[in-house]
Amino acid sequence: MNTAQIYILISIIVLAIIMVILVLTRKKIGKPLSKLATIGFLFIITGMIFGENRVVGYSLMGVGIILAVIDMIRQIRNRKIKA
């Protein structure tokens, strides 16, 4: 295993731990992740998994980030409409 693969493995483990914490504490937070945010999160993880091929890895991560930003914009707009 080379250094890049070790960093990818560490980042996947950290993201998985964050996801587990979010799932276990979801009741305390009050709001689960939206479907769009979950899909974006999965795209980012798959981008890290396929990071060996840079074009595929970065493309998947880019799609995940775009979906997360779209989800944030939708949530901000929904708050403004309700207020």
Provide the greatest CA pair distance for the chain.
52
Give alpha helix (H) positions in 1-83: 3-24, 26-29, 35-49, 54-82
Domain containing residue 28: 3-82
Residue 29 reports pLDDT greater than 60 = no
Q: How far apart are CA 64 and CA 59, in angstroms?
A: 9
Query: Residue 33 gets which letter from DSSP?
Result: P
Phi, psi of 47 (to 5 degrees): -65, -35
Structure confidence at residue 6 (pLDDT): 84
The whole-number pLDDT of residue 30 equals 61
Q: How many domains does the chain have?
A: 1
pLDDT in tens, 37-72: 999 999 998 988 887 888 888 999 999 999 999 999
Whole-number percent of the chain with pLDDT over 70: 92
Q: What is the pLDDT of residue 15?
A: 86
pLDDT value of position 35: 92
pLDDT band at 83, cuts 50/70/90? Answer: low
